[in-house]
């Protein structure tokens, strides 16, 4: 289903790219996914190997050392990564999320410096928008930035920061003046070794456990004025434009999770016998499998369409949110039904589907909950 489903007019290069990602995932990620789920360790060594193969910083320009893929091609790679383990995929895609604000709002010099150094080293980077009291309502963030001569000084707290405990660089959103709401928000590139940054403990999450998630505090963190990305006050728009670009990538993580669950469910349904025949012969199971196949395909198409639009520079907040919303909810349903196909066995850690169900839940929460996506969709269609 995977190859048939994806094979609509892909060029030879795209098929080769997808297959290279699939081979890497089979060799490096699948054999250790359960182990990393247990340990919740960050898979640095494997991500370094992915970087060496050009599977990191996917949409960052090759002129500054990124892989330089279109969003569409990045999505092909991301589905494969996530079908192997979404904890790995999230850790890797988090780099594009962190670097894209710089791509969107930064000067060529800033691209070279803040994208180029991460792209060259393959080090993790983090997008720091969310705060303890500013999640869905990102515009209400309170981390403060103030000008001090040739520097900006940052004070505040960030929450649920992917790669936060292992990153070399943070893209931090902070406000010059809370009373200005989103118009006061700025975007700054902050090297992780800047004095005053305190990293919290790695959260003990339900799923995507090897993806590193921490709280960060910024205590008089001082960066040169040259680290301001875009103009003062343009940070919220930069964040929103970034999320438009990253939501198709996140949607594709959901597609990858669902595809893996579906493939496990199909194989198991063909093997498992009840009432004298494989359970795949029963319509009750066939209907579940048929719905899984259809919904995965629909999510993939919605996602690739939004990616193609963004590649063509067509505004696609609507399509990007539709893809993220549909794919996330679809992955939750598909993985839940995959556990159902496995019955009692599916509910144990001996089989991979319970992990996929735990992993899928996060898709409905991060990078804008399913409810926030509906809010964006409703605003767009009612405009
Ligand atoms: N592109 C460009 N500009 C945009 C935009 C977009 N997609 N969306 C909004 N804007 C602009 C608006 O035009 C408006 O500008 P003006 O003042 O010039 O008119 C401004 O931004 C404010 O927009 P809104 O009034 O719509 O803002 P809002 O406060 O009502 O919030 C929201 C909008 C969509 C709900 C937003 O807060 C949002 O996206 N929330 C969810 C945040 C989110 O996704 N967080 C995830 C964090 S990252 C993460 O989870 C990743 C990880 O670690 C793995």
Could you report the per-residue pLDDT of 210-232, keeping only the tens digit for each? 999 999 999 999 999 999 999 99
Structure tokens at 180: 């200005």
Ligand 1 center to residue 23 CA distance, Å?
37
Asked if 264 and 351 touch (Cβ cutoff 8 Å), the reply is yes
Of ligand 1's listed atoms, the one at least distance from the Cα of 183 is 17
Threshold 0.85, pTM exceeds: yes
Of ligand 1's listed atoms, the one at least distance from the Cα of 140 is 29
- To which H or E segment does residue 267 belong? helix 235-271
Give the pLDDT confidence score for residue 234 in this predicted structure.
98
Of ligand 1's listed atoms, the one at least distance from the Cα of 162 is 53
Give the pLDDT confidence score for residue 1 in this predicted structure.
44
61 lines ligand 1 (CB under 6 A): no
Ligand 1 center to residue 240 CA distance, Å?
5
243 lines ligand 1 (CB under 6 A): yes
Which residue from 95, 141, 237 has its CB within 8 A of the most atoms of ligand 1, so it is best to mutate? 237
Give the pLDDT confidence score for residue 7 in this predicted structure.
59
Distances (CA, A) of 342 to 257, 267, 290: 16, 10, 16
pLDDT at 111 over 60: yes
Which residue from 139, 246, 318 has its CB within 8 A of the most atoms of ligand 1, so it is best to mutate? 139
Ligand 1 center to residue 241 CA distance, Å?
8
Name the closest-CA residue to atom 3, ligand 1: 237
Over residues 193-197, the mean pLDDT reads: 98
Of ligand 1's listed atoms, the one at least distance from the Cα of 379 is 26
DSSP per-residue string spanning 134-200: BSS-GGG---EEEEETTEEEEEEEEEEEETTTT-SEEEEEEES-GGGGGGGEEEEEEETTSTTEEE-
Average pLDDT of the chain is: 97
Of the listed ranges 4-8, 60-64, 223-227, the one predicted with least confidence = 4-8
Could you report the per-residue pLDDT of 264-287, keeping only the tens digit for each? 999 999 999 999 999 999 999 999
* Residue 134 bridge partners (DSSP): 131
Nearest to 129 by CA among 239, 233, 294: 239
Percent of the chain with pLDDT over 70: 98
Could you report the per-residue pLDDT of 51-61, keeping only the tens digit for each? 999 999 999 99
Distances (CA, A) of 207 to 3, 126, 344, 352, 353: 27, 19, 20, 12, 12
Name the closest-CA residue to atom 44, ligand 1: 368
pLDDT at 2 over 70: no
Task: Provide the 3-class DSSP secondary structure of residue 228.
Answer: strand
**What is the rounded radius of gyration, in angstroms, for the C-alpha atoms of the chain?**
21
Give the pLDDT confidence score for residue 9 in this predicted structure.
83
* Residue 218 bridge partners (DSSP): 156, 197
Could you report the per-residue pLDDT of 318-331, keeping only the tens digit for each? 999 999 999 999 99
Of the listed ranges 9-13, 197-201, 312-316, the one predicted with least confidence = 9-13
pLDDT at 4 over 60: no
Could you report the per-residue pLDDT of 148-172, keeping only the tens digit for each? 999 999 999 999 999 999 999 999 9
89 lines ligand 1 (CB under 6 A): no
How many whole angstroms separate alpha carbon 122 and alpha carbon 43? 13
Side-chain-side CA neighbours of residue 10 (13 Å): 21
Could you report the per-residue pLDDT of 32-47, keeping only the tens digit for each? 999 999 999 999 999 9
Q: Which residues are catalytic?
A: 367
Percent of the chain with pLDDT over 90: 97
How many whole angstroms separate alpha carbon 226 and alpha carbon 191? 13
Q: Confidence band (pLDDT; 50, 70, 90) for 188? A: very high
How many whole angstroms separate alpha carbon 331 and alpha carbon 380? 24
pLDDT at 334 over 60: yes
Ligand 1 center to residue 138 CA distance, Å?
7
Q: Confidence band (pLDDT; 50, 70, 90) for 6? A: low
Could you report the per-residue pLDDT of 123-141, keeping only the tens digit for each? 999 999 999 999 999 999 9
């Amino acid at each position: 289903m995977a190859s048939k489903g994806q094979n609509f007019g892909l060029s030879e290069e795209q098929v080769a790219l997808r297959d290279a990602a699939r081979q890497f995932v089979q060799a490096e990620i699948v054999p250790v996914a359960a182990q990393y789920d247990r340990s919740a360790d960050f898979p640095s060594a494997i991500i370094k190997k992915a970087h060496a193969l050009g599977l990191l910083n996917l949409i960052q320009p090759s002129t500054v050392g990124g892989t330089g893929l279109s969003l569409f091609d990045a999505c092909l790679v991301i589905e494969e990564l996530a079908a192997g383990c979404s904890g790995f995929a999230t850790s890797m895609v988090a780099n594009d999320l962190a670097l894209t604000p710089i791509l969107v709002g930064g000067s060529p010099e800033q691209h070279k410096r803040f994208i180029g150094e991460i792209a060259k080293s393959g080090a993790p980077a983090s997008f720091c928008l969310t705060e303890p009291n500013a999640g869905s309502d990102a515009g209400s963030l309170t981390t403060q930035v103030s000008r001090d001569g040739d520097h900006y000084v940052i004070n505040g707290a960030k929450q649920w920061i992917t790669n936060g405990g292992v990153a070399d660089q943070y893209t931090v959103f902070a406000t010059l003046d809370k009373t200005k709401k989103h118009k006061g928000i700025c975007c700054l590139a902050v090297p992780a070794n800047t004095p005053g940054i305190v990293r919290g403990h790695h959260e003990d999450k339900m799923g995507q456990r090897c993806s590193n998630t921490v709280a960060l505090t910024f205590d008089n963190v001082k960066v040169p004025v040259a680290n301001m990305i875009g103009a003062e006050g343009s940070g919220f728009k930069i964040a929103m434009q970034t999320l438009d670009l990253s939501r198709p990538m996140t949607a594709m993580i959901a597609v990858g999770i669902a595809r893996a669950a579906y493939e496990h469910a199909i194989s198991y349904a063909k093997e498992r016998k009840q009432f004298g025949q494989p359970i795949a012969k029963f319509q009750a199971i066939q209907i579940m499998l048929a719905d899984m196949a259809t919904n995965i395909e629909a999510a993939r198409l919605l996602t690739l369409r939004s990616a193609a639009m963004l590649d063509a520079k067509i505004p696609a907040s609507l399509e990007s949110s539709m893809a993220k919303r549909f794919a996330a909810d679809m992955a939750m349903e598909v993985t839940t039904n995959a556990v159902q196909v496995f019955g009692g066995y599916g509910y144990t850690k001996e089989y991979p589907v319970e992990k996929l169900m735990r992993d899928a839940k996060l898709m409905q929460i991060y990078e804008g909950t399913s409810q926030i996506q509906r809010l964006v969709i409703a605003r767009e269609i009612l405009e």
